[in-house]
């Protein structure tokens, strides 16, 4: 059996998101044609259906990632909802047949109406597919929430989904950006990754901050010390963390744009000489070192 990871098809359905994160690269791009009205979202979904079908003609098995923007905060007509679930029905069909092995979804969980999300989870649960869903959200101490009410809404939604008996097979991962503030909070014992993970029964995953706003960026030394501290508190954290970053999974990324395009375009990312994305060289202000190479060297130094 081959150990080569299956290719992942990643579809960015739309970039619309009301959260306004300070460290968001999509917001920084400010492409007007990426923020869609209802009819454009419907077109995006229909084209996503076409892409999933055509992709499956050339790949016996693969993974699929659906991402926004926010794909579950749909506040438009019943037509948009029904169109969205045409895509979900197709994905479920291909998961049942085994063609799509794993489904990845990202959601910010900052919305009061959970009906679209719950219908989605119920559909996967009905077909006993929750164990093959990779459900990812995000939590941050600074930069993500406009108000404390938004933070409380996130935590309330997270707890509701995690504790719902219908979704007992669901495993949740929350990503946290390692801003300078977050590193300080962890290093000074004001925030505990282990404690937060246990309280909400999730896995909290630390991501490097790809520098957009310099004052949010931590130094390389501080980021490394933060990872060592978390590793001392969470068994095998660094080992599993590094292994995750070193998985060389083939990926095909398509992003929907409206305006003069009104279709998906294939996106590629540049690689450094080490073979990792050039974005990983932007994780600490003033330095040009690869984050993946640095954490690999860190693990080889400190071990488990």
Summarised one tens digit per residue, pLDDT across range 108-165 is: 999 999 999 999 999 999 999 999 999 999 999 998 998 999 999 999 999 999 999 9
Containing 67, the helix (H) or strand (E) segment is strand 62-67
Token duo for residue 14: 């739309």
Phi, psi torsion values for 44, nearest 5 degrees? -60, -45
Most confident of 11-15, 65-69, 121-125, 232-236: 121-125
- Asked if residue 7 has pLDDT above 90, the reply is yes
CA distance 95 to 184: 42
Q: Which residue has the higher pLDDT, 75 or 279?
A: 279
CA distance 110 to 244: 27
Q: Domain spanning 8-302: which superfamily?
A: Aldolase class I (3.20.20.70)
Give 53's Cβ-side CA count (13 Å radius).
10
pLDDT for 56 equals 82
- Asked if residue 1 has pLDDT above 50, the reply is no
Summarised one tens digit per residue, pLDDT across range 61-91 is: 999 999 988 999 887 678 999 999 999 999 9
Token duo for residue 174: 């929350």
Angle at 68 between CA 8 and CA 248, to 5 degrees: 25
For 164-178, 206-220, 265-279, which range has the lowest pLDDT when averaged over its residues?
A: 265-279
Domain residue limits, the chain = 8-302
Summarised one tens digit per residue, pLDDT across range 18-42 is: 777 887 766 655 555 557 888 889 9
Summarised one tens digit per residue, pLDDT across range 188-209 is: 999 999 999 999 999 999 999 9
């Amino acid at each position: 059996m081959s150990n080569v990871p299956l290719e992942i098809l990643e579809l960015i359905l739309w970039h619309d998101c009301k959260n306004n994160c300070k460290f968001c690269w999509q917001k920084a791009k400010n492409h007007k044609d990426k923020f869609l009205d209802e009819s454009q979202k419907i077109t995006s979904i229909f084209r996503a259906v076409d892409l999933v079908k055509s992709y499956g003609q050339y790949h016996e098995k693969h993974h699929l990632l659906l991402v926004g923007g926010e794909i579950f905060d749909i506040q438009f007509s019943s037509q948009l909802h029904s169109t969205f679930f045409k895509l979900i029905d197709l994905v479920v069909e291909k998961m049942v047949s085994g063609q799509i092995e794993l489904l990845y979804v990202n959601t910010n969980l900052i919305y009061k109406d959970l009906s679209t999300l719950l219908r989605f989870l119920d559909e996967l649960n009905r077909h006993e597919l929750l164990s093959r869903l990779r459900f990812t959200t995000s939590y941050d101490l600074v930069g993500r929430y406009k108000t404390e009410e938004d933070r409380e809404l996130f935590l309330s939604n997270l707890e509701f989904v995690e504790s719902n008996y219908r979704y007992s097979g669901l495993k949740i991962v929350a990503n946290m950006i390692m801003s300078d503030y977050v590193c300080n909070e962890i290093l000074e014992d004001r925030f505990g990754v282990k404690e937060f993970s246990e309280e909400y029964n999730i896995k909290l995953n630390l991501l490097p901050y790809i520098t957009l706003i310099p004052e949010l960026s931590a130094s390389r030394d501080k980021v490394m010390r933060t990872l060592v501290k978390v590793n001392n508190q969470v068994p095998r954290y660094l080992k599993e963390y590094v292994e995750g970053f070193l998985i060389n999974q083939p990926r095909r990324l398509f992003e929907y744009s409206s305006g003069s395009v009104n279709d998906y375009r294939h996106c590629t990312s540049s690689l450094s000489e080490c073979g990792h994305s050039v974005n990983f060289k932007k994780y600490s202000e003033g330095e040009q070192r690869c984050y993946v190479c640095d954490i690999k060297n860190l693990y080889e130094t400190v071990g488990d």
